[in-house]
Amino acid sequence: MAAERLRYGSFTEDGVEKVGSGAARSRIGVWGLACLTLIFLAGCDRSGEASPSPDPVAGTGGSAEVMEFVATVGMVGDVVRAVAGEHAEVETLIRPGVDPHLYRPTRDAMAALQSADAVFYVGLLLEGKMTDALIRTANEGRRVFAVAEAVDPSVLLEPEDFAGHYDPHLWMDPALWVQTVDIVRERLAEMDPDHADDYAANAAAFKTELEQLDAYAERALATVPESRRVLVTAHDAFNYFGRRFGFEVVGIQGLSTESEAGVRDIERLVDLLVERDVPAVFVESTVPEKNVRALIDGARQRGHAVTIGGELFSDAMGEVGTYEGTYVGMIDHNVTTVARALGGEAPPEGMRDRLGSEVTGQTRP
């Protein structure tokens, strides 16, 4: 098969990935190639020729009816809801507290994927075990969009222990995640041009909201003393957060929660806690606490008291129907929790005095 040029990247038969205009990246192996090939399959049939695009709104004959979309994770679903507004209903497959790295779709989830007018996912291998389901959906002629494809690869992180791949946790930096809004707006306008102006207005309003969130985060986290800007979490999901707000980030596990922390990893981190006088570490809503507890016990045995600074949302948002169940609320919670636990100043209820509250009168859960 000849190399096929795509809108945001290209992939060749031998497993070499090219993103944007950058140089060819390392071989990614069979599993990684399958995931990346998804984008190619979304635009081609089994013969390798471009498949005709489905009607603007499948089965409706136009844009008169509400579209039905599926998003893999809440952070993507919230962007799609914000931009689509009243013109679409969005179902999120991976629920609060569920790890997207390990999630396998149920029969109901497969039915939702195959009946949706479009599927939106993060990409960059976040939804690793959903690969087969996403490929099958794309190969059946459904629209399947990776929102991370909107982001300039030059600003993506490529950790050493994740060689050949980018860190997929883009949402931890609101100034970076805002770039996904435009790709969603473009895709919706292509499917439903009659409402393109609505999508543009909704996108502009949501981008303003994210800019306000980023400004709050910058102010609150700047109050943490520099010596205490060490963020120790259950797994390595906060590197974009650390880069944006000037924190050293240490995850007990790697980028994927499939990785395991060994005794030496725990001992090394205990050394860091003691030597740097770190006052708090953080658990995550989608990762078991046992490794964090081991850190606390290890530090106590060496005479250093460390507390749990709070639970952070990493790979999933809060419960549906709560403020933390929105993207803005998720990041507001994380920022406020980190700032207060590490000696900074932030209002207990966050930027909008809404942490811990229910969401009422809004279309975005």
Residues in the chain: 365
Answer whether residue 23 is part of any domain.
no
Residue with the two structure tokens 């102010």: 219
Residues 237, 162 within the same domain: no
Residues 259, 199 within the same domain: no
Answer whether residue 232 is part of any domain.
yes
Residues 197, 269 within the same domain: no
Per-residue pLDDT band for 219 (boundaries 50, 70, 90) equals very high
Per residue in 310-359, pLDDT tens? 999 998 999 999 999 999 999 999 999 999 999 999 999 999 999 998 87
Residues 177, 236 within the same domain: no
Residues 172, 123 within the same domain: yes
Residues 148, 194 within the same domain: yes
Which has the higher per-residue pLDDT, 217 or 14? 217
User: 112 lies in which domain range?
Assistant: 53-216
Q: Which of 165, 194, 216 delimits the end of a domain? A: 216
Per-residue pLDDT band for 360 (boundaries 50, 70, 90) equals low
User: Cα(316)–Cα(103) distance, rounded to whole angstroms?
Assistant: 12
Residues 84, 148 within the same domain: yes
Answer whether residue 310 is part of any domain.
yes
Residues 232, 86 within the same domain: no
Per residue in 108-129, pLDDT tens? 999 999 999 999 999 998 998 8
Answer whether residue 249 is part of any domain.
yes
Answer whether residue 108 is part of any domain.
yes
Residue 296 confidence (pLDDT) above 60:
yes
Task: Output the pLDDT for position 66.
Answer: 93
- pLDDT, the chain, mean: 80
Residues 211, 68 within the same domain: yes
Per-residue pLDDT band for 262 (boundaries 50, 70, 90) equals low
The pTM of this model reads 0.80
Answer whether residue 30 is part of any domain.
no
For the chain, what is the HEC assignment?
A: CCCEECCCEEECCCCEEEECCCCCCCECHHHHHHHHHHHHHHHECCCCCECCCCCCCCCCCCCCCCEEEEECCHHHHHHHHHHHHHHEEEEECCCCCCCCCCCCCCHHHHHHHHHCCEEEECCCCCCHHHHHHHHHHHHCCCEEEEHHHHCCHHHCCCCHHHCCCCCCCHHHCHHHHCHHHHHHHHHHHHHCHHHHHHHHHHHHHHHHHHHHHHHHHHHHHCCCCHHHCEEEEEECCCHHHHHHHCCEEEEEECCCCCCCCCHHHHHHHHHHHHHHCCCEEEEECCECCHHHHHHHHHHHHCCCCCEEEEEECCCCCCCCCEHHHCHHHHHHHHHHHHHHHCCCCCCCCCCCCCCCCECCCCCCC
User: Cα(87)–Cα(193) distance, rounded to whole angstroms?
Assistant: 12
Q: Can you give the CATH number for the domain in which 192 is found?
A: 3.40.50.1980
Residues 173, 267 within the same domain: no
Residues 63, 207 within the same domain: yes
Q: Could you give the number of structural domains in the chain? A: 2
Residues 201, 253 within the same domain: no
Q: Which of 183, 201, 216 delimits the end of a domain? A: 216
Q: Which of 185, 216, 247 delimits the end of a domain? A: 216
User: Cα(94)–Cα(108) distance, rounded to whole angstroms?
Assistant: 12
Taking residues 303-315, report their average pLDDT. Answer: 91
Answer whether residue 42 is part of any domain.
no
Answer whether residue 28 is part of any domain.
no
Per residue in 12-51, pLDDT tens? 223 223 333 333 333 333 334 344 434 433 433 333 333 3
User: Cα(344)–Cα(328) distance, rounded to whole angstroms?
Assistant: 20
Both tokens of residue 247?
């924190």
